[in-house]
Chains A and B, each alone.
Chain A
Amino acid sequence: MTPRLAMSGVRKSFGATRALRGVSLTVGPGEAHALIGENGAGKSTLMKILSGACPADEGTVALDGVRFEPQNPLHARRGGIAMIYQELTLVPDLSVEENILLGAEPATCGWLRRGRRRQLARQALAELHHDSIPPEIPVNRLTIAEQQVVEIARALIGEAKVLIMDEPTSSLTRIDTENLFAIIDKLRRRGVSIIYISHFLEECQQVCERFTVLRDGESVGTGHMRATPLSEIIHLMVGREIQEIYPRTERTLGRPVLELRAVGGHSKPASVSFSLRAGEILGMAGLIGAGRTETLRACFGLDRLARGQIAVFGVERTQAAPRARLRSGVGLLSENRKEEGLMLERSVADNLTLTRFGPLARLGFISSRQQARCAEGWMRQLEVKAQGPGQPIVELSGGNQQKIALGRLLHHEARILLLDEPTRGVDVGSKAQIYRLMGALAAAGKSVVFVSSYLPELLGVCDTIGVMCRGVLSEVKPARDWTEHSIIAAAIGSGTEEQEGPTL
């Protein structure tokens, strides 16, 4: 049987950097194939070559046994290769149907056939069992999970033979993820091959038949997903063993440092109460849209409160601007690294030190040398791979960007860290490092609120966990009293068997 897709000996260099040095990848028809590797291993570059965003230096790509060299993204799409990017690439102000058929509008001599467009859009959505999404509303009114469905629908329009999914579940909750897996199964039965890129190995195990591991621009292993133990795959990925992903540090819980009493915002959250103690890591689980991000934003003073009280270090200060919160030692890591968390074209040093220039300045004048030295110190400690403190953030990989964003809180000497999805889009090695860092911080008496949609890490890292459901935070209980099952039950509103999405 000819494979649907065969790539072999693919090489690619950017200047002096050899991004790919010989990659082979074979995917059969109707197969879901996991492409695994740490950030910077070359997955993105390989997929860029396949989707026509950049040409390969060497190597061959064959589609159904016929040599195929995608010249540009349009050419690749016409050839049957569709890609769903990690960051959604929808046009937020256009409607669902406009997005689905963008670039493939049904038209007669340039005159749009609106009826036909709606029909095609409905068809595509129905095929994904999501005909509940109205095709005429703008995409920015949909949830992230729904937006992803729209994106997949768009890929289906082009009669895709190979569908590339780059971290499709990184912003999805458990239930939306299950829905996505059902869609993947359906697509496979239609004969569509799927290249599934994810850092969540358990997910790969669930959906994929085979895998290929990339490391440092080379394919270092391939095999059957279910027949291979995860530890072996991790070993292939990192080239070393990670004994303990979730380390436990010795820590004693002290007095309460952050207390929320019946806090509510204008739309979300509805009511949140908890008491965070010194040296505690408090996990916050829940579906996307449950109000976890909004809770953190309210704590940090980014959104106004409608009711409730907040006390920081025992002092009642309910309404406070971010500036005041930072002064009292509260730091927030945004879930949206690119749009909110970092200044992408500014340097590593500038990003690290933005909230606290004090120790680097004399009489209001910042010393560039001290700033660089300080940044170098953090880069060493956080093992950031970068050319130097002057390099723009945008040139760094996701994991390294996240380390810089975290480094800013460390430089600020924040004593209460509000971390919103700190491991999203981060490779395994950096993830383990972030967990270790959180453990070390807690051991040093600092406190962390850890929002995550990935349950194993919550259960592994946190002392206590609360679950958010429709804007209400459940009772915060010790982590050992929770199981994945009970968290999911609480997240969807226990008692109801019906599996409901956030706002569907």
Chain B
Amino acid sequence: MSGRLAQMPENHVDQIGAPPAQPGLRLKKAFSVLGPFFGLALVVGLFMAMLALKDIADQMQKENLHGFTGWTRAVRQGSFDGLSAFVSVANIKTVLAQTVIVAVGALGMTMIIVSGGIDLSVGSVVALTSVLGALLLHRGWGTGPVIAATVLGGSLVGLVNGGLIAGFRLMPFIVTLGMMGVARGTAKWLAGNQTVNYPIESSLNNLMKMEDLDHLFPLPHGVWIAAGLAGLLALIMRQTVFGRYVFAIGSNEATARLCGVRVSLQKVLIYTLAGLFFGCAGLMQLTRLTQGDPSGAIGLELDMIAAVVIGGASLSGGSGSVLGSMVGAFIIQTLRNGSSLMSWPTFTQEIIIGAVIILAVGMDRLRQRRFRA
């Protein structure tokens, strides 16, 4: 590699050459990787504190205690039901299982957002593919073919999205907004506008089944599948030429074109591949509900987008990480779970999750600004 320019005249020595990677750079990198984890720790810590306070308040009310002495007594005697429910193995396992669908979808969404695009049709695609799977099971198809058909169904929608975006140079926002309606309508049409049931004994149902709630392992298969897919995608994004091209297109499409990247083809590939993940999410939705619901998963894509953004990606493309998105998905589910343990109504959850998204992105900008200065 070096030495090719050995014929270059030896020149002034007083200019400093490239110093080796400085610790500042490494620290910066570590900080941006750890960012979502800090967020997770913060959310968990906050809920633990709030649940503990709530437990104490409940205890004081139950035993009719007052004042500081009453408070200390409640602390000593309290059973902390809420707090222990939150940090219990069973609950952690439940949250993990609940995260799976959003997490798998967020994988596909990460790829799309890093490439500078967006996909608003995911919720509809999840509904469509779950209806498709249910119908095929109903017809007596075997497990293998149903899995293949569902996942490929998702990627087919992705292929159409990508084809339209790349072929006609349309905005991803518009194309997928249209697809949101098309896929949703198709799902309802296929399902005859009602939920599709299938023989319950299908082996697919084990995918999300929880066994032995007292121990963390065995985890539901779905969690392992999601983890495996995440590992695979992380590898693709970081270490393959395809992955580097995804970042290149999102960072600067003109540069990518200049550097010989076949941008259109690449975009079709990105949306199609992401469609595979959305199909997977549809399959998981199917096994969780044990029925195909054409009007389910509404707004699911927003959870996925939120997960990706909380995970540190920029909506203008060029940055984002698989690990971050996974933690982001987990944060959202933890918020839901914690809020319901606090017995807050759903609208409070919605407000809190909305606020957290804005907060996460705001903190990310602040962090970047501090490092840039």
Spell out A's residues near B (CB within 8 Å): 14-15, 239-240, 247, 300, 302, 321-323, 325-327, 332, 334, 339-346, 350, 354-355, 357, 359, 361, 364-368, 372, 374, 376-377, 379-381, 383-391, 395, 408, 410, 413, 429, 433, 436-437, 440, 443-444
Contact = CB atoms under 8 A, between A and B. Distances in A.
B20 interface: yes
Interface in B84-133: none
A342 B252 contact: yes
B241 A385 contact: no
Interface in B220-244: 235, 238-242, 244
Given A343-B318, A357-B244, A364-B241, A326 B260 contact: yes
Contacts of A332: 258
Contacts, number: 141
Contacts of B260: 321-323, 325-327, 355
B7 A440 contact: yes
Which 4 residue pairs of A and B lie closest in terms of their CB atoms, listed nearest first?
A388-B21, A379-B18, A343-B251, A323-B260
B16 interface: yes
B139 interface: no
B9 A247 contact: yes
A322 B5 contact: no
14 contacts: A240-B12, A325-B260, A327-B260, A339-B252, A343-B248, A343-B318, A344-B252, A354-B248, A354-B255, A365-B240, A379-B17, A380-B17, A391-B25, A395-B372
B8 A322 contact: no
A342 B255 contact: yes
Contacts of A413: 4
Contact of A408 (B14, B19, B252, B259): B259
Name the residue in B242, B248, B258 with the highest tally of chain A Cβ atoms < 10 Å from its Cβ: B258
Contacts of A359: 1
Residue of A15, A376, A387 with highest tally of chain B CB at under 10 A: A387
A332 B258 CA distance: 8
A441 B318 CA distance: 33
A346 B246 CA distance: 12
Given A340-B255, A376-B18, A380-B17, A366 B244 contact: yes
B20 A437 contact: no
B24 A387 contact: yes
B203 interface: no
Q: Categorize the interface residue count of chain B.
A: 35 or more
A410 B5 CA distance: 9
Contacts of B19: 387-388
Contacts of A379: 17-18
Contacts of B5: 381, 410, 437, 440, 444
Interface string B12-44: 101111111110111001000000000000000
B367 interface: no
A402 to B, nearest CB: 14
Contact of B259 (A14, A354, A372): A354
Contact of A388 (B8, B17, B18, B244): B18
Contacts of A334: 254-255, 258
Nearest to A16: B24
Contacts of A386: 18
A385 B16 contact: yes
A321 B257 CA distance: 9
A388 B25 contact: yes
A340 B2 contact: no
Contacts of A372: 21
B138 interface: no
A383 B17 contact: yes
Given A359-B1, A376-B18, 20 more contacts: A240-B14, A247-B9, A300-B258, A334-B254, A334-B255, A340-B254, A342-B255, A343-B247, A354-B248, A355-B260, A364-B240, A364-B242, A383-B17, A383-B18, A387-B19, A387-B22, A388-B20, A390-B21, A390-B26, A437-B5
B262 interface: yes
Nearest to B257: A322
A232 to B, nearest CB: 19
Q: In the complex, which of the residues B21, B26, B319 has the most CB atoms of chain A within 10 Å of its own CB atom? A: B21
Contact of B244 (A350, A380, A429, A437): A350
Contact of A346 (B9, B25, B247, B373): B247
B11 interface: yes
Contacts of B248: 343, 346, 350, 354
Contacts of A376: 18, 20
Contacts of A340: 252, 254-255, 258
Given A365-B239, A365-B240, A366-B244, A389 B21 contact: yes
B199 to A, nearest CB: 42
Nearest to A333: B258
Nearest to A359: B1
Contacts of B4: 410, 413
B238 A368 contact: yes
Contacts of A410: 4-5
Contact of A14 (B21, B244, B261, B373): B373
